[in-house]
Chains A and B, each alone.
Chain A
Amino acid sequence: MADLRRKKEPPKIDIYKAWCKGCGICASFCPTGALARDEAGYPYVKEPEKCISCGWCEIRCPDFAITVKHKGDDEKARGIREEAIQ
């Protein structure tokens, strides 16, 4: 039961603002558009429910300033994840 509920919960994305330089890599390459940039160019989580926790952003953040905690999982997410993480 608990598992079913967790599946609907979007992944948890944390941006460590003190280290983020606003380079734009995470938001520009996010394959689902979960991340976006504010007027100053800094990333924020615009649509958390779109995140498939592929980890693209986390692996390539040059400043180690973003974490994605894997919560949900489904076929589609796995597919995109495989393609995204090359």
Chain B
Amino acid sequence: MAGVTELIHKYLRHDKKFPHVWCPGCGIGIMLGALIRAIDQCGFAKDEIVLVAGIGCTGRLPVYVDFNTLHTTHGRALTFATGVKLANPKLKVIVVMGDGDAVAIGGNHFIHAARRNIDLTAIILNNSVYGMTGGQFSPTTPYGMRTTTTMFSNVEQAFKISELAVTAGAVFVARGSVYHAKMLDGLLEKAFMKNGFSVVEVVSHCHTQYGRLNRMGTAVEMMQWQKEHAITVEKAAGMADEELADKFKIGVLIDRELPVFQDEYDKVKARAKGISIP
């Protein structure tokens, strides 16, 4: 295992303040590790990568890494990323969002980026809550759970981010967890190599806000929860719905081919110029 941390340090911006801002044990740091390893494994040069994020604890991630980075406004990361990708299609554009960022305020951008099938990778860290702003409920907070804005329990149903992405048209969708960090490396690599809109949902924990109010314990206990409640897609295929009720599926949920926006747009340009295309 020699060299794992050394490799990560190669990609960090050492002029930033470390240790980073996240709470002790927060899963965002674990996801950052997986992200760096996957980029390294895919062989991208630092300058080929554009990391775009919104606002939130998760949104702070790009600050720490030495790629081209854009720290944008809350919920709008995908719109900035779309602009970057269309202006310079050679760049590998990766978008990092929290659950609130991606499917609350940014929900509309999310489904439409998926529908368009624009060549981006969206990584969504799902900690079921607005971590940064004080633990308010998010569209991913499960029914019956407590947050600072649902003190008497949440009465709404939660979005399933990955399933939403599949329905909206993403060509590659995978779910992982920070406990299963090694598997996450592989899922991210696959997403980066996919042409079209790819999504990786990362189940994580916010023990400081969500965990505390729901008596779910420390970061360690919440990771133990992930270990016990994650079921691989392959295993889940042979299980009944009741058995899966309190579980979440990890692995590749969909990997398909659909026309990619950029390629289609090139054809439109050719048609407009009167060039015949096969």
Q: Are B220 and A67 in contact (CB under 8 A)?
A: no
Instruction: Given contacts A25-B219, A53-B1, A63-B29, list 8 more A-B pairs with CB under 8 A.
Output: A18-B18, A59-B1, A61-B33, A62-B22, A62-B27, A64-B5, A70-B2, A86-B180
B56 to chain A, nearest CB (A): 16
Q: Tell me how many residue pairs across A and B have CB atoms closer than 8 Å.
A: 84
B260 to chain A, nearest CB (A): 32
Residues of B within 8 A of A (CB): 1-2, 4-6, 8-9, 12, 18-20, 22-30, 32-33, 178-183, 218-220, 223
B31 to chain A, nearest CB (A): 9
Q: Are B25 and A25 in contact (CB under 8 A)?
A: yes
B163 to chain A, nearest CB (A): 23
Q: Are A60 and B219 in contact (CB under 8 A)?
A: no
- Residue A22 at the B interface, CB < 8 A? yes
A55 to chain B, nearest CB (A): 3
Complex formed: what's the CA distance from A76 to B218 in Å? 31
Residues of B near A54 (CB, < 8 A) are 1
8 Å CB interface, A23-77 against B:
23-25, 28-29, 53-55, 58-70
Contact of A55 with B30 at beta-carbon distance under 8 Å, contacts A25-B25, A86-B182 already known: no
